[in-house]
A and B are shown apart, each in its own frame.
Chain A
Amino acid sequence: MGRYLLRRLLESAVTLVLASLVVFLGVRALPGDPARTLAGEESDPATVEAIRHEYGLDRPLPVQYATYIRKAVSGDLGRSPRTGIPVADSIRHALPVTLQLATFAIVIAVTIGILAGVVASVRRRTPAEWGANAVSLLGLSVPNFWFGQMVILFLAIAYPIFPASGFVSVFENPVESLRHLLLPALVLGSALAAVIMRQTRSAMLDALTADYVRTARAKGLGGAQVIFGHALRNSLIVVVTIVGLQLGALISGAVVTEQVFVLPGFGKLTIDAVFTRDYPMIQGVALVTATAYIAINLLVDLLYSVIDPRIRVGGAVI
């Protein structure tokens, strides 16, 4: 186990270095000069040159990269040349917003998706199933930015129940946090809810015709007990797998949702950094994202063996 962990950590470090290199070169391949963009309206060649020098953009790429990595390793992600605010501070503010939004979206998606899936499978060929199918189709086909604008128009402007924008942390004020996050989480979770609904329905239909369900019914168990205690329980494995697979898509979807609801999250930070050619910010965001993905993957691989001891890691049973 120790050797396996060491190997995985080394692999992770190499992956991180490669990821940072790709991002470093990628942002520099974008058309547009960050120094010129920073110079803004009142640019003149001397100022642009001074900015380029100040941020080391006039130095050779390997030197720039080495400086960046050296500082990053010591925890210094640099400052945004545009606002002068440390990149790490911006990420520290933005990350919890996206995490809370994504978590809330998953809760909503799972709740709606499972309930609709169960209803659609149990009430087959009834208006309930058709309704659930229609909602699922809508969830999959309606783009987030349009759905977001619509819920704002109805639930924030026509009937001002929810705020149209802003963020309150759940740790500061849970009620206000719920009010601010409900609409964006609903919008972000809509597509995931649709996928979960369809998979739950399909898995439930299989389960409801399975032998063990027939046996359970024959033993005299009530409808609810059969559905929730047996059929649904076995169908949930699919749901858990989907939620895991869709997590990345959810974070990407947050980019659009955060723009529509003006949530100061990771997605908004990334988009704005790209448009302003804020190299340190783009690199910082990418590095943190890559680290998170690698860490989660490693954790999941390790958890497999904890959950199911039959799964071996590193060629040996733990």
Chain B
Amino acid sequence: MPTTKAILKSSTALAALAVIVAGCSPVSSPSTTQSSGTDARTAKNGGTLRVALAAEPDKLDPTLARTLVGRTVFNAICEKLYDVDSKLTVVPQLAAALPEFSADGMTVTIKLRTGIKFADGTTMDATAVKTSLDRHRSLAGSARASELSSVADVAVTDPATVSIKLKVPFTPLTAVLADRSGMILSPAALKTSGDANFATSPVCVGPFKFASRIAQDRIEVVKDANYYDAAKVHLDGITYKIIADAATRLNNLRSGDVEVLDAVAATDVETLRSDPNLSLITSESLGYQGLTLNLGNVDGVGKAPKQLSAPYAGPVATDKRVRQAFEMSLDRAAINQVVFRGQFSPACGPISPASPFSSEAAQACAKHDPAAAKALLATAGVATPVKVSMVIGNTPDARRLGEAIQAQVKEGGFDLQLQPVEFAASLAQTDAGKFQIFQIGWSGRVDPDGNIANFVRSGGSQNICGYANPDVDSLIDQARKTPDVAARRDLYGQVITKLHDDAPLIYLYRQKNLTGVSSKIVGVNVYGDGLLRFGSAGFAA
């Protein structure tokens, strides 16, 4: 039986060959930005779709919701001012057109579609938009407040127009309004249920409306007759079942107890593909997985960086050459092959190659070269092996990933100690700065600002590295003021070049959104944002 080491070695050799053939840098772009369940068959009307979700959504209140999985349920019941299309371009949804930014970038005008009704039959208009945006900005415990922190005021110009005054120019606002911050809630329902109870009976505009929920078990939505495009909705309803275990989820899809499976495990892809009754929808994720290095997080996330002390201090924190050597020891292609059976994509930066903001600079990648890594450590004058610890999750996948990294960096002159920690505990531990390296990822946002700024900008809300670079801050701020996509693309390219040099984060791989679908179902769409779209789905006629 081949040992893990042998598999790692042979995979490394294969991956090295692949890298030589591919020419190493940059990481190749995917051929498509999405792969949907497009099918020649048509959908018939009727039937309730059963969907297995990997985790339980939190509050079904767009203002308070925080989980990624919750966004999938919202997609069926709460439409937004803007949405993304299959190419990840922002397009109007409840808005009539893309927003108009004033010349100084301080005022945003949004025209709304008319004749649209909420699930409770009341009208969606500018007053409803103002009510929703104000609630997102100011409700106690709002998860949207930081996304909308650039907004100074929302005013109703006429029933079909709202005007948003900004504190600073902020072009990523359009993409922010294409997520939960752009979801419009029924003011009448808010009044009836109150802020505390809206999550138990949410009312928005959507192809489906909320019907019931049993905690830890299921969420049921039914077709909304008030929906403006109700004629195109085929399904009577959707039942989201919460099945945390990947093997159990797959079993339920294979047995026909669910028709759609969210988040197929990479290790289950072959089983799924071999079943003629099932199909796999794949799309590139906007997020990434990587390593976050503690450079100066002493007093907790968001606080000014300081010099680390034992046991977290070390050359990894103080010398960027050591961090660069760590990155050069990593063979991303081999990690993808060994840990994820080649199902994911190696990644070297926070912007997906599928994004319109991707560039050559954004996809540039440090070459895997353990010998050069050792030479760099010698130049830095540090004694090898360099001892360093890494907090990883305690799931089998996280452990396999940790062990693969451990084996690879050993060749580059590092002695990596793994610290498996349960997820909730790891968040608290690393926020407090009690780590050297942390393996964590990000689910990804359409606008690059959402994938970069909070993590590396000085004092960023998720900057657990304790990283501060005025040049990076300045470039991020410039990109926020610039409406032109090409100019922003260039600015983000410059940010990423600086991040590669300082290496506060080492990006590793980009997950794919893997969705299993029964052959009985047609019209399921999954774009790069990973959300399941059932507006035109149905049982095959």
Contacts and interface: CB of A to CB of B under 8 A. Distances in A.
Interface of A: 30-34, 36-48, 50-51, 54, 80, 82-85, 89-90, 93-94, 149, 152-153, 156-157, 160, 163-167, 259-262, 264, 268-269, 272, 275-277
A168 to B, nearest CB: 12
Given A41-B443, A157-B254, A262 B243 contact: yes
A153 B67 contact: no
18 contacts: A32-B426, A32-B427, A39-B143, A45-B461, A47-B141, A47-B145, A47-B461, A54-B141, A83-B56, A83-B199, A85-B200, A89-B215, A149-B247, A157-B251, A163-B255, A165-B251, A276-B56, A277-B424
B251 A163 contact: no
A167 B300 CA distance: 45
Given A45-B301, A149-B251, A264-B214, A163 B428 contact: no
B67 to A, nearest CB: 6
Contacts of B423: 275
Contacts of A43: 427, 431, 461-462
B14 interface: no
Contacts of A39: 66, 143
B422 interface: yes
B140 interface: yes
Given A32-B424, A164-B252, A42 B141 contact: no
B158 interface: no
B302 A264 contact: no
A160 B241 contact: no
Contacts of B68: 41
A81 to B, nearest CB: 9
Given A47-B145, A153-B251, A260-B248, A82 B59 contact: yes
B40 interface: no
Nearest to B58: A82
Contacts of A167: 217
A269 B300 CA distance: 32
A163 B257 contact: yes
Nearest to B463: A44
A202 B218 CA distance: 46
A152 B215 contact: no
Given A83-B58, A276-B424, A42 B146 contact: yes
B244 interface: yes
| B-side interface mostly | loop
A90 B217 CA distance: 10
Contact of B143 (A42, A93, A160, A269): A42
A160 B255 contact: yes
A32 B428 contact: yes
A90 B257 CA distance: 23
B215 A90 contact: yes
B135 to A, nearest CB: 15
Interface string B417-448: 00001111111110100000000001100000
Given A83-B56, A156-B257, A262 B214 contact: no
B216 A156 contact: no
Given A44-B461, A262-B248, A36 B215 contact: no
Interface in B442-470: 442-443, 454, 461-462
Contacts of B218: 264
Contacts of A50: 140-141
B256 interface: yes
Contacts of B67: 40-41
A260 to B, nearest CB: 6
A44 to B, nearest CB: 3
Top-10 shortest CB links A-B: A44-B461, A264-B217, A40-B66, A32-B424, A31-B425, A32-B425, A164-B255, A84-B199, A33-B428, A156-B255
A244 B213 CA distance: 35
Contacts of B259: none
B244 A272 contact: yes
A262 B239 CA distance: 14
A32 B143 CA distance: 20
Given A84-B199, A165-B248, A269-B216, A41 B442 contact: yes
A36 B431 contact: yes
B182 to A, nearest CB: 15
A156 B429 contact: no
A31 B429 CA distance: 8
B61 interface: yes
Given A84-B196, A264-B216, A268-B216, A41 B425 contact: no
Interface in B174-221: 196-197, 199-200, 213-218
B147 to A, nearest CB: 7
A156 B140 contact: no
